[in-house]
Amino acid sequence: MAELDFLTANAVDVLPSGELERRLQRASAEGRPLRVKLGIDPTAPVVTLGHAVVLSTLRAFQDAGHQAVLIVGDYTARVGDPSGRSKARPMLTPEEIDHNVDVQLAEYGLVLDLERAEVRRNSEWLEPLGTAGLLELAARTTVARLLERDDFAKRLAAHEPISLQELLYPLLQGYDSVAIRADIELGGTDQKFNLLMGRDLQESFGQPPQIVFTLPLLVGTDGVHKMSKSLGNFVGLRDEPNLMYGRVMSLNDEAMPDWFRLASGLDAARAADVLAQLGSGALAPVEGKRLLARTVVARFHDEAAGLAAEEEFLRVHRRRELPTEIAEAELPADDPVYLPGLLVSALGISSNSEARRLIEGGGVRLEGEPVRGLELPRDELAGRVMQVGRRRFVRFVQGKTDSLPG
């Protein structure tokens, strides 16, 4: 069944086995699209290339004629999803949630057809539950069942606290599936327990249980951890082309196959062809990575942007030239200037101690020459370009008051 192969190309789990094929056949016979659910976690305003893995599969269901249902977790965000967490997440205010949702939906639209999607907020059905409804929902599972969840079990074994609020999260997310009568729920492999809970609750409410459909977690640019904004190992869908290209180029070679399959946007046959060339040595790893970076930029911008970003990257990193556009920062009034503080304020280095480490390690350059020492006369910085690492540049300018008569 060609449609099934297309939809499940990147799947890890499709449970129960054989059920998706049966429902696709039944939906076709009845002329009814399947309702495919995806939850939006509005705890941060950024959408990364990791999110695009699941979004791309949801788009495939849309293109096959099925109904995408996006569940904005505005109510569950007050609880915080504990998936993969060693401690509880902080709760957000309604204003923070609304801001994050607006940003996320705009970025989801880079992959999904939002005009054909059904967008719902789970506060619609969770807020009216009240105490009585919540107690009835809680009665449909057991503490033992909730503690089967891997992250809860680990925290319990380590004698780390688990709040009752967190234990309720899988129930609340599962009830979303009841409320919208989901046929399928998509999620990363870290969401498998929550998706299975949705099946359990649908059965207990007399509904056909949803199909659990999980997808791989895309490793971040560090090549080790799941892509995450908090770890800084992410590519954002709204990153400007040069930044996006540079972030992809920082990926290690071992992670390239997964990125070609899951994140490039190339069709399966083209991705397989590129990977075969990499495997045979016909395509060198550095050329493969440049193709990957160019393709990712083209996917979220356009082909011209991908080519321009590649040229800029080569100009700066291979030919050691300065970028065509360099941000400017005003110099402080102090003379001499304390460089660690300048790196924090002008180049976004996280702390003075980190800045000192970079200077002492030779990672800070002024007009291409390594900076020595923690202070420089102000006149030696004015009008000159400082570089930290491969992609951070700033040109220092005199403050406006410098030109005023004394």
pLDDT tens digit sequence for 353-402? 888 888 888 888 887 778 888 989 888 888 888 888 777 888 888 765 44
Q: Cα(52)–Cα(122) distance, rounded to whole angstroms?
A: 22
- Select from 3.40.1160.10, 3.40.50.300, 3.40.50.620, 3.40.30.10 the CATH code of 2-215: 3.40.50.620
CATH number 3.10.290.10 is the correct assignment for the domain at 328-400: yes
Residue extent(s) of CATH 3.10.290.10 domains in the chain: 328-400
Average pLDDT of span 271-287: 94
For 83-95, how does the pLDDT look when each residue is reduced to its tens digit (9 = 90+)?
544 444 566 788 8
The residue among 150 and 204 whose pLDDT is bigger is: 204
Bigger pLDDT: 351 vs 302: 302
Q: At residue 160, does pLDDT exceed 80?
A: yes
The SS3 of residue 284 is: coil
Beta partners for residue 339, in sequence order: none
CA 162 – CA 97 distance, rounded (Å): 24
More confident residue, 206 or 223: 206
Give tens-digit pLDDT for 47-83: 999 999 999 999 999 999 999 999 999 998 876 555 5
pLDDT-based confidence at residue 404 (cuts at 50, 70, 90): very low
**Per-residue model confidence (pLDDT) at position 239:** 93
Look up tokens 């109904």; give the residue: 67
Strand-pairing partners, residue 375, are 338
Proportion of the chain in helix, strand, coil states, percent, rounded to 5: 50, 15, 35
pLDDT at 85: 47
Cβ count within 10 A of residue 8 = 17
- Cα 6 versus chain centre, distance: 23
Q: What is the pLDDT of residue 314?
A: 86
- The mean pLDDT value for 230-255 works out to 90
Q: 288-293 contacts: CB < 8 A, separation 24 or more?
A: 288/256, 289/248, 289/249, 289/251, 289/253, 289/256, 290/249, 292/248, 292/251, 292/256, 292/259, 292/260, 292/264, 293/244, 293/245, 293/246, 293/248, 293/249
CB atoms within 10 A of CB 139: 9
- Every domain of the chain with CATH number 3.40.50.620 lies at 2-215
* Comparison of pLDDT for 316 and 145, the residue scoring more: 145
Give the pLDDT band (50/70/90) at residue 38: very high
Query: Could you read off the pLDDT of 261-275 as tens digits, one per residue?
Result: 999 999 999 999 999
- Per the listing, tokens 């705009």 go with 106
Section 124-140 average pLDDT? 94
Q: Which of 88-92, 133-137, 143-147, 204-208 has the lowest mean pLDDT?
A: 88-92
Residue 230 has pLDDT above 90, yes or no: no
